[in-house]
Amino acid sequence: MDAMSNAQAKVPHPVFQLAYGQHSITSDISPYVLSVTYTDYLSGQSDELEVELEDSDGRWIRAWYPGHGDQLTLKIGYAGEPLLPCGGFEIDEIEFAFPPTTVSIRALATGVKKLVRSRVGRAYENTTLAAIAQRIAKRNHLTLTGKVRDIRIDRVTQYQERDVAFLTRLAREFGYAFKIVGSKLVFSELADLRDGQPVMTLRPGDLISIRLRDKIKEIYQEAKLKHHNPKTKKLVVYGVKNGEVAATGHTTTTAKSGKNPSSSDSLKMSGRASSRATAQAKVQAALDQSNLEQTAGSLTLPGTPRLVAGSTFDLVDCGKLSGRYLVESARHRIDRSGGYTTDLEVKRAALAVQQGKGTAGKKPASGLKVYGIKDNQVQVVGTTPQKGKKK
């Protein structure tokens, strides 16, 4: 009997703590909660909270009807263990459904409303990436944090874009991710996130389900971008190859570039860079982003508070799909029927290209292989249709 009691005591019990404004409402709301879902995004999108409530007596659409813009604070995890602080949220949407009678409260991370909704048209000249981020942060009453390298920008235009869309585009172009955490605008270099220490190691047996896509086409070993040198009046071609950025050629501004050979392993970028440093940052970011798409997919596992957007983990015992993966989004959900689960969208952080140069030998199969768990083993479970070839 004692052994059975001890075994039951070791079973982790999912819990959440929810505050409305400055007051805890966990005990009051728990009898009505059908599910609590927190979604954490790496970049360019607001973190989200959804609380689904049973409302058979109508209190949530009457006396307890929440106000738009009211603030919620959530923590989630297991009893007796440190909880994951999910941050603060502002109620953005309330949905009523019948039958059965339910009310869903959806909220966005605090600090993002203006950043998401206000459209701005503005040109930025003779500045840096850090200065633009600082200006946007100040305009939205946020504090810029994180390390941003000194990347010069001659001119960039915000074409009546929302600040969050413009900043997402600019950050991605130079290899950064950003998100709003409370009153802070946090910038992170993707290379630093990929190289971070893994928070854990996972095996197929630890997962509820897994689905990975291993891309064969459009995987590159080098990237090239042109930079106009005003002194020599030539276009200098900068490239990244084997992790090194260097000038790989040049031409006069009036010369035609039709003689340059093309390669299936070379990513040729449109546009020009205003400086050598800008060219270096852009080509490295473009190559990294392209090859980060090589192996990606989704995982579902028992609730794991340590796995959040921006963290990495090692996936082992998965053959050629083993490696270090970067979490792009993490969805933590507690519900009455299924307990606590975590859904991840991931990309393999290893950037080494496995394919050859494609100039000799057998051509690889077209399309995307879809991997999944079958008979407790990771194996091919299907393929996606091949897209038409680009001209």
DSSP 51-86: EEEE-TTS-TTTTTPPPTT-EEEEEEEETTSPPEEE
Indicate the burial class of 81 (C-beta count within 10 angstroms; 0-12, 13-18, 19 or more).
exposed
pLDDT score recorded for residue 326: 93
Q: Which of 82-86, 146-150, 262-266, 354-358 has the highest mean pLDDT?
A: 82-86
* Protein fold of 114-192: Phage tail protein beta-alpha-beta fold (3.55.50)
C-alpha 336/C-alpha 356 separation (Å) is 50
Rg (alpha carbons) of the chain, rounded to whole number: 25
What CATH code is assigned to 196-215+294-351? 2.40.30.150
pLDDT 10s digits, 316-331: 999 889 999 999 999 9
pLDDT score recorded for residue 182: 77
More confident residue, 16 or 270: 16
Full-model pTM: 0.75
pLDDT 10s digits, 282-308: 766 666 666 667 889 999 999 999 999
How far is Cα of residue 136 from the mean position of the Cα atoms in its chain? 21
More confident residue, 211 or 219: 211
pLDDT band at 357 (very low <50, low <70, confident <90, very high): very low
CATH superfamily, domain 14-108, is Baseplate protein-like domain - beta roll fold (2.30.300.10)
C-alpha 321/C-alpha 99 separation (Å) is 44
pLDDT score recorded for residue 227: 47
Q: Cα angle vertex 190, ends 303, 164, to 5°?
A: 85
pLDDT band at 164 (very low <50, low <70, confident <90, very high): confident
pLDDT at 354 over 90: no
Are residues 200 and 349 in contact, defined by beta-carbon separation less than 8 angstroms? Answer: no
Question: Where do the CATH 3.55.50.10 domains begin and end in the chain?
Answer: 114-192
pLDDT at 153 over 90: no
Do β-strands 119-128 and 184-189 pair in parallel, antiparallel, or remain unpaired? unpaired
pLDDT at 260 over 50: no
Question: Where do the CATH 2.40.30.150 domains begin and end in the chain?
Answer: 196-215+294-351
Are residues 321 and 212 in contact, defined by beta-carbon separation less than 8 angstroms? Answer: yes
Contact residues for 251 (Cβ-Cβ < 8 A; gap 6+): 234, 235, 237, 257
Question: Where do the CATH 2.30.300.10 domains begin and end in the chain?
Answer: 14-108
pLDDT score recorded for residue 82: 93
Backbone angles phi and psi of 349, in degrees to 5: -80, -20
More confident residue, 380 or 163: 163
